[in-house]
Amino acid sequence: MSDFLLRLLPIEPTFVPERSCIALAELQLRAMLPQADWVTSDVSETIEFVDAGANWDGVLCPACGSDAAPWWADAMSEAAETQFRSLAVRARCCNKPVSLAKMRYGWPSAFSRFKFEALNPGVQGLSEPQLEQLGSMLGCPLLEVKAHL
């Protein structure tokens, strides 16, 4: 049986909450997920791509809806060279400006410097009120990225 990792990230990739807010929200998240094997928080020096692990199900262009797989990996490699400081790219399918953060990922994926992670939390996700409560504690709206490992 595979492990399930629930990740919570700010919608804004560069946002990092205050340490005191992280500590309080982490305590609240632990209380919300008492069955989790563990709950952690992480702040990275640079923006990272947070994907859905084995849930990965492709990526579509947000401008034209076509399969972006033929060019997405190259665009990600180019953006990674600058530590994802810019997520702006030109879609090679329709030649429109798009953001890697706004791509239509089959399973939610995102870019972030900060994240909470809960391993095998005992639930498939948090309720909207729970997400709003944690987001309020951190000072930012949150999104979930669910990964099977």
Q: Which residues, other chains included, contact 27 with Cβ-Cβ below 8 Å and sequence gap of 6+? A: none
The number of C-alpha atoms within 13 Å of 31 and in the hemisphere containing its C-beta is 9
Backbone angles phi and psi of 23, in degrees to 5: -60, -45
Q: Show the CA angle centred on residue 31, arms to residues 27 and 35, nearest 5°.
A: 125
Q: Which residues of the chain have pLDDT under 70?
A: 1
pLDDT of residue 10: 98
CA 73 – CA 96 distance, rounded (Å): 17
pLDDT of residue 1: 65
- Quote the percentage of the chain above a pLDDT of 70: 99
The kind and range of the H/E element at 76 are helix 69-81
Domain layout of the chain by residue ranges? 1-56+107-149, 58-105
**pLDDT (tens digit, 9 = 90+) per residue, 95-105?**
999 999 999 99
pLDDT of residue 2: 86
Q: Does domain 1-56+107-149 have CATH number 3.30.70?
A: yes
Tell me the two tokens of residue 105.
Answer: 């990922």
| Strand, coil or helix: 67 | strand
What is this structure's pTM? 0.93
